[in-house]
A and B are shown apart, each in its own frame.
Chain A
Amino acid sequence: AQSVAQPEDQVNVAEGNPLTVKCTYSVSGNPYLFWYVQYPNRGLQFLLKYITGDNLVKGSYGFEAEFNKSQTSFHLKKPSALVSDSALYFCAVRLGTGANNLFFGTGTRLTVIP
Chain B
Amino acid sequence: GAVVSQHPSWVICKSGTSVKIECRSLDFQATTMFWYRQFPKQSLMLMATSNEGSKATYEQGVEKDKFLINHASLTLSTLTVTSAHPEDSSFYICSALDGGGGFTEAFFGQGTRLTVV
Q: Footprint of B on A, CB under 8 Å?
A: 34, 36, 41-46, 49, 51, 90, 97-102, 104-107
Contact = CB atoms under 8 A, between A and B. Distances in A.
Interface residues of B, number: 30
B43 A43 contact: no
B44 interface: yes
Nearest to A32: B103
Q: Which 3 A-B pairs have the closest CB atoms?
A: A99-B32, A43-B108, A44-B108
Nearest to B93: A43
Contacts of A42: 110-111
* Consensus secondary structure, chain B interface: strand
A101 B43 contact: no
A99 B98 CA distance: 9
Contacts, number: 54
A99 B105 contact: no
B110 A43 contact: yes
Interface of B: 1, 4, 6, 9-10, 31-32, 34, 42-44, 46, 49, 51, 91, 93, 95, 97, 99, 102-111, 113
A46 B42 contact: no
Contacts of B106: 34, 102
B56 to A, nearest CB: 13
A90 B43 contact: yes
B92 to A, nearest CB: 10
A80 B37 CA distance: 33
